[in-house]
Each structure stands twice: as C-alpha cells, then as structure tokens.
C-alpha cells in the first residue's frame, strides 16, 4: 500500500475578471516507504502546485490526496495532528524557509515540542543526533542560519523535517539554489536517508541529471498532467511518451562533440487555454488525428509503466517509431549509489 497517493488531483487558480487557470489538471502518482519518486517537467508545468496540494498547503479543486490511508485536508488555521505531521515538506529556498532570528537547534526542536515527540530534557540530544544525521556538527544547534552556506541550510531544513519523525517528505526543488558541489552532497544525503530510514521522498525537480541518480521512479509532468511514470532506468533506456523523449534528448552532453538536441517546435501553451485533445500535440512530432480531439488517459502499458499517449493504443505500431511501439524492460533504478558531479 502506498504511503502517499494523489488521485486525479486538480488545482485551479481563480483570478478576478480573468479565465481561471488549472495549474494541475488531473495528476495521479504515489510514493511508497523507502522510495524516491522524482517529479520532473518544465518550469510552470504545475510541479510546485502539486507538491503543495500533496501536503495540504493548497486545497485541490477536484480529486483527492491520501496519506497513510487518511485523506489529507487543507491546513487552514488548524494545528496539524501528530499523524498528519508525518507528512513533511522541504521548500526550495533554504535562505527564506528558516527563521533568521532563531538558533538552528531551537527551530529543529519546535516540531518535537509542538507534537510532543520528546520530553524537554531529551530534545537537545535529539537535535544533536539529527544534525549529525544530515552531516552537520552538534555545535550547529547554537548558531544562526546566516552563519551557514546554502547547502548547509538545506541540510538544516531536512533535519527540521526529520524531527517530526515523518514517513514521507515532499521536497520542492530542494537543490536548485545550491552550487554543483552542494547539490551532489544533499542529493546523496537524500538517497541515504530514504534507504536507511525507509522514508518515502517525493522530489520535485527540473534537473534530470539529479533525478536520474537518486530516484527509483520518475513521473513526468506536462502542462498540469502526469504524462508518464516508470522506473528510472527504464525511462531513460526507452521513454514511452514523446515529451519524455524530448526531455532526455535535451540533457547536455559533456563529450566535446558539439552535439545539440533538436528543439521542440512551438511554445508551452497557455494553461488558461490548453489545446483540445492531448495537451502536447501542438509540439509532438508523432501527433495524428485522434491526438487533436481526445485527451489520452494515463494507463498502465506494462508493469510499473504508465503513459498518457495514443501511440500506445492497440494498432498504433505502424504510426509509432520503434522506441514507442515496443515497451522494454530493465532494472528498477539507475545505477550508482553516489553522485560525484551533477
């Protein structure tokens, strides 16, 4: 059973006198214990909105979010219960997510005090253990956030999330504001925490290189919809959605060849006025008549692989290029335990 499950979630932003924008238009995915799920896509596709809906910071317009068998309700002004607090979030910017006026240790201890997870006389030792767990010295508890680099602050934010003894952590672009060295260190930390603590991670990122190294499963999002989910290695070896293929082909190659990917035609459509049928069809090199009129559902093609693309309907083999006509197997996750460079 999945710890976190999003079922056909929709989130709509209403603007006075303007057309409402469905930032998330019916997205589904799940996270299991000890699993790292990477959610990737272009800027503006709805990843961060979906992350906030997953933890209750935004109320879904339609669909539902389930955590440990209970439906997640919008937070509002009510206090979060101990059970709900097992679903935590780490935000993108560690420079603004930490209180600059309070010591690091006090901010980490807040979760324990609010949720009653540890007696007052045991919190200091618990804070020290959490800091060591994320690779920081015990003395860090007595300092302020401004005394640390971006990568160290993000480790502090992760330690604060761990203080609530979570079973799932949603991370919204946690590495984007860090330099390459700090990105690699924090990415390796996240992977080891998932394995050692069996915490499920939903990692939102636009950096495919990072996701490839640390995610067990990847969900690809385009214009508010999840269009493909697959084990990481299978996704890279044989993408089944044309948008996924384009994303992977766009990854730079540091081989000196000067190779450049072929740009997709057109621009991302306005989410307030999405195209009919498949939302990707105006930019898809394989689109045919049905793509222009009928939205494809996200269906399971083979075990652990789901795709929303009419190229995979029965009889589509003659239309589809070979890599889309034949689903292929492979290991469930990308190789390599550590990232040296990103």
Could you say which of 183, 215, 247 is where a domain stops? Answer: 215
333 within domain boundaries: no
222 within domain boundaries: no
* Same domain assignment for residues 82 and 29: yes
Number of separate domains in the chain: 2
* Same domain assignment for residues 101 and 153: yes
DSSP for residue 18: S
* Helix ranges (DSSP H) in 258-321: none
Contact between 233 and 331 (Cβ < 8 Å): yes
Q: Which two tokens stand for residue 97?
A: 């997510």
Per-residue pLDDT of the chain (342 residues; tens, 9 = 90+): 689 999 999 999 988 888 889 999 999 999 999 999 999 998 889 999 999 999 999 999 999 999 999 999 887 666 667 778 899 999 988 888 899 999 999 999 998 988 888 888 899 999 999 999 999 999 999 999 999 998 899 999 999 999 999 999 999 998 887 888 888 888 999 999 999 999 999 999 988 888 998 999 999 999 999 999 999 999 999 999 999 999 998 887 777 777 777 778 888 888 889 999 999 999 999 999 999 999 999 989 888 899 999 998 766 655 555 455 434 333 333 444 454 444
Could you say which of 176, 192, 215 is where a domain stops? Answer: 215
Domain that holds residue 134: 4-215
Distance CA 332, CA 309 (A): 22
303 within domain boundaries: yes
* Same domain assignment for residues 82 and 105: yes
316 within domain boundaries: yes
* Same domain assignment for residues 130 and 239: no
* Same domain assignment for residues 202 and 308: no
Distance CA 237, CA 328 (A): 8
């Amino acid at each position: 059973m999945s710890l976190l499950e999003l079922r056909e979630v929709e989130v709509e932003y209403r603007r006075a006198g303007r057309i409402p924008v469905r930032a998330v238009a019916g997205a589904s995915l799940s996270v299991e214990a000890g699993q790292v799920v990477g959610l990737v896509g272009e800027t503006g596709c709805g990843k961060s909105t979906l992350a906030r809906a997953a933890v209750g910071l935004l109320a879904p317009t339609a669909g539902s979010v389930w955590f440990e068998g209970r439906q997640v309700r919008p937070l509002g002004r009510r206090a979060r219960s101990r059970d709900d607090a097992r679903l935590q979030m780490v935000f993108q910017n560690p420079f603004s997510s930490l209180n600059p006026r309070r010591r690091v240790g006090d901010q980490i201890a807040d979760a324990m005090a609010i949720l009653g997870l540890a007696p007052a006389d045991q919190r200091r030792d618990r804070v020290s253990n959490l800091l060591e767990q994320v690779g920081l010295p015990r003395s860090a508890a007595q300092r302020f956030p401004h005394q640390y680099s971006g990568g160290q602050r993000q480790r502090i934010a992760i330690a604060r999330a761990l203080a609530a003894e979570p079973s799932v952590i949603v991370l919204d672009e946690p590495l984007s504001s860090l330099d390459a060295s700090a990105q690699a260190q924090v990415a390796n930390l996240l992977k080891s925490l998932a394995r050692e603590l069996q915490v499920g991670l939903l990692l939102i990122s636009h950096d495919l290189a990072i996701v490839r190294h640390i995610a067990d499963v990847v969900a690809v999002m385009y214009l508010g919809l999840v269009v493909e989910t697959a084990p990481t290695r299978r996704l890279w070896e044989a993408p089944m959605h044309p948008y996924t293929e384009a994303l992977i082909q766009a990854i730079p190659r540091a081989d000196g060849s000067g190779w450049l990917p072929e740009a997709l035609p057109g621009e991302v459509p306005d989410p307030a006025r999405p195209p009919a049928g498949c939302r990707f069809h105006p930019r898809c090199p394989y689109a045919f008549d049905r793509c222009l009129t009928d939205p494809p559902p996200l269906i399971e093609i083979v075990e652990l692989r789901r795709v929303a693309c009419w190229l995979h309907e029965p009889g589509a083999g003659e239309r589809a290029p070979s890599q889309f006509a034949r689903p292929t197997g492979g290991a469930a996750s990308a190789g390599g335990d550590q990232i040296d460079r990103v």
